């Protein structure tokens, strides 16, 4: 049984916190009556601070914040939560329905009973958790359509600059251009976890290693009771060395079957566990045929480019990875929008196909530089082939520093390609060459 004295000390302590220094994030959520607002994402992406940023600084006592990973709430059952509510109401008897924030709710068995009880009682409820399986598949089952889910990723480059207290808007972009360019290099190399962004360079590697270890141990090994730990380590090793590349379960099975006890199903399951833990993403090929989409290889992207320091670091693949993550942010508010890749039977490849309800809206290619004529022709030819095949005229080539609009004609195919420097694309800035 929870001690009410400890609970009241915890509640009052929260209300006396200083919320003024919390840097707001770009994610926008909306509380809907009779639905829990669910915020998921990888560990250490900033979900707790995001909740705190929602607190009304003038009236913090209107909020009941519960961190289920705090020792005071361990062990805890749904019934024990009634004591938490009682403690709050004894402190604030005039507030009938506080806004309830449940942080890392997966730490409590049968947590959904708490949420349903609160929703039935007319409370506004926010939930966070670190497992996408827990808070997508299971929420849909346990809350029976009574939730709305949002994903919080590590920092966008815009947020990254705000954490560094560097302004990029208007003339400040050019005034601070040297510093912004240097920070882009840091963003690509060390990634975008908030704590890493705010840490000195000497400890960034250690923090990232700790994140990776905890993610694998807590959200994969322990949650799924993995037996073939060696295989999981091999798949993680492969992922850290092969991000922004294709992955085929068949080819991995052929690679491992001679030296490990493995099946294709096990490989597929382990990758699904890594996805559920937000360690990585597997992106499908754009195909109109469902069967073709299923059998085609996926492209693998990491949750954060900082993790690739434990694999094979590569500037071009880092650029492609951060573009993918930014596309996730930009399309997350529209479930009808999809991010896929395209590859022709002749081997022409386009990194990203942005579609909505099956209709292709934009084709995006990412390359460090296209000064080399062979590289330039390869990237542009792929865009033209995809444009003709998919019926899309909006063609974008993202590089480190090229800017402009170019009319391209190759092998009887024509198209207009917008070339955008990565820094401007990430910041959503006008290039001065808008059509």
Half-sphere exposure of 233 (CA within 13 A, CB side): 6
Query: Of the given ranges (7-16, 18-27, 300-309, 384-393), which has the lowest mean pLDDT?
Result: 18-27
The DSSP element (H or E) to which 300 belongs, if any, is strand 298-302
* Average pLDDT of the residues in 222-234: 91
Residues 341, 386: Cα–Cα separation, whole Å = 10
Q: What is the pLDDT of residue 348?
A: 95
Which sequence spans correspond to the domains of the chain?
A: 4-151, 172-427
Residues 160, 186: Cα–Cα separation, whole Å = 10
Average pLDDT over the chain, rounded to an integer:
92
The answer, yes or no, to whether residue 141 has pLDDT greater than 80, is no
Residues 191, 69: Cα–Cα separation, whole Å = 26
Sign of the Cα torsion 139, 143, 144, 145 reads negative
Q: What is the pLDDT of residues 269-322, one digit of tens each?
A: 999 999 988 999 999 999 988 899 999 999 999 999 999 999 999 999 999 999
Dihedral through CA 298, CA 302, CA 305, CA 311, nearest 10?
Answer: -80
Cα 384 to Cα 248, 393, 405, distances in angstroms: 27, 9, 14
What's the CATH code, domain 4-151? 3.40.50.300
Token pair for 294:
């299923």
- Bigger pLDDT: 139 vs 44: 44
Peptide bond into 413 cis (omega under 30): no
Closest CA to 302 of 190, 159, 161: 190
The answer, yes or no, to whether residue 132 has pLDDT greater than 60, is no
Q: How many helices (H) and strands (E) in the chain? A: 18, 14
Beta carbons of 44 and 195 less than 8 angstroms apart:
yes
Q: What is the pLDDT of residues 373-398, one digit of tens each?
A: 888 999 999 999 999 999 999 999 99
The answer, yes or no, to whether residue 134 has pLDDT greater than 90, is no
The answer, yes or no, to whether residue 87 has pLDDT greater than 80, is yes
The answer, yes or no, to whether residue 435 has pLDDT greater than 60, is no
Q: What is the pLDDT of residues 312-363, one digit of tens each?
A: 999 999 999 999 999 999 998 888 999 999 999 999 999 999 999 989 999 9
Residues 213, 223: Cα–Cα separation, whole Å = 14
Beta carbons of 331 and 339 less than 8 angstroms apart:
yes
The answer, yes or no, to whether residue 118 has pLDDT greater than 70, is yes
Q: What is the pLDDT of residue 370?
A: 85
pTM, to two decimals: 0.93
């Amino acid at each position: 049984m929870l001690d009410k004295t400890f609970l009241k000390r915890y509640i009052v302590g929260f209300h006396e916190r200083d919320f003024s220094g919390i840097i707001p994030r770009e994610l926008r959520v909306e509380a809907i009556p009779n639905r829990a607002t669910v915020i998921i994402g990888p560990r250490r992406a900033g979900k707790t601070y995001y909740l705190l940023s929602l607190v009304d600084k003038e009236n913090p006592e209107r909020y009941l914040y519960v961190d289920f990973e705090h020792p005071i709430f361990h062990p805890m059952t749904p019934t024990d939560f009634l004591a938490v509510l009682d403690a709050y109401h004894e402190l604030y008897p005039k507030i009938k329905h506080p806004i309830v924030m449940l942080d890392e709710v997966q730490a409590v068995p049968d947590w959904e009973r708490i949420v349903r009880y609160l929703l039935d009682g007319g409370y506004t409820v926010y939930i966070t958790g670190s497992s996408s399986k827990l808070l997508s598949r299971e929420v849909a089952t346990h809350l029976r359509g009574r939730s709305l889910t949002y994903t919080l990723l590590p920092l966008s480059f815009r947020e990254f600059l705000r954490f560094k207290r560097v302004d990029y808007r208007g003339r400040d972009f050019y005034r601070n251009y040297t510093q912004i360019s240097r920070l882009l290099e840091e963003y690509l190399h060390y990634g975008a976890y908030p704590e890493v962004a705010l840490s000195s360079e000497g400890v960034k590697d250690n923090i990232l290693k700790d994140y990776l270890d905890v993610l694998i141990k807590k959200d994969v090994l322990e949650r799924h009771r993995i037996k073939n730990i060696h295989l999981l380590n091999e798949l993680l090793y492969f992922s850290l060395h092969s991000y922004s590349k294709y992955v085929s379960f068949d080819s991995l099975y052929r690679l491992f079957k001679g030296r490990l006890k493995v099946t294709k199903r096990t490989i597929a399951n382990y990758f699904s566990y890594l996805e559920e833990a937000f360690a990585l993403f597997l992106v499908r090929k754009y195909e109109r045929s469902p069967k073709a989409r299923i059998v085609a290889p996926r492209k693998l992207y990491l949750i954060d480019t900082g993790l690739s320091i434990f694999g094979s670091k590569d500037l071009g693949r880092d650029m492609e990875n951060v573009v993918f993550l930014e596309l996730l942010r930009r399309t997350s508010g529209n479930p009808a929008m999809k991010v896929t890749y395209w590859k022709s039977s002749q081997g022409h490849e386009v990194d990203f196909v942005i579609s909505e309800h099956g209709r292709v809206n934009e084709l995006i290619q990412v390359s460090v530089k296209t000064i080399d004529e062979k590289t330039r022709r390869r990237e542009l030819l792929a865009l033209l082939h995809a444009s003709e095949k998919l019926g899309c005229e909006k063609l974008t080539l993202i590089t480190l520093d090229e800017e402009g609009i170019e009319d391209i004609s190759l092998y009887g195919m024509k198209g207009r390609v917008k070339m955008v420097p990565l820094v401007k694309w990430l910041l959503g800035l006008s290039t001065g060459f808008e059509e």
